[in-house]
Amino acid sequence: MSGVLRVIIGIVVLLVGASMVYKTPWYLGILGRVYWAERNFGSGGTRTFYKLMGVGVSIIGMIVIADLWEQIIGGFIINIFTP
C-alpha cells in the first residue's frame, strides 16, 4: 500500500475512533445498548464500552499511520507461536 493511501486510511480510522469518544450518545442511538457492558460495567456501561472502543480504534489508526502494523501484530504472533 502506498504511503499516502496508508496515511489517509489511518487518519480516517483515527477520526472515527475520536468521534466514538466525543459523540458517544450518537453512536448509542444508532448502535443501541450493549447488554454485556451494562451487566459487567454497571450503569452507563454501554457509554463506557463505546468510549473504550473509540480509544482502541484511535490507537489502531495511529498504528496504521505510523506503519507499525506488521511490527506489532507480526511480533505478537511470532511470540505466541515461538516455543
pLDDT digits (tens, 9 = 90+) for 3-26: 899 999 999 999 999 999 999 999
Q: Is the pLDDT of residue 75 over 80?
A: no
Query: For the chain, how many structural domains are there in total?
Result: 1
Its pTM stands at 0.81
Distance CA 78, CA 55 (A): 26
Domain holding 70, by residue range, is 3-81
Q: Cβ–Cβ contacts within 10 Å for residue 52, how many?
A: 14
- Chain-centroid distance of CA 66 in Å reads 15
- Residues whose CB is less than 8 angstroms from the CB of residue 1 and which lie 6 or more positions away in sequence, other chains included: 9
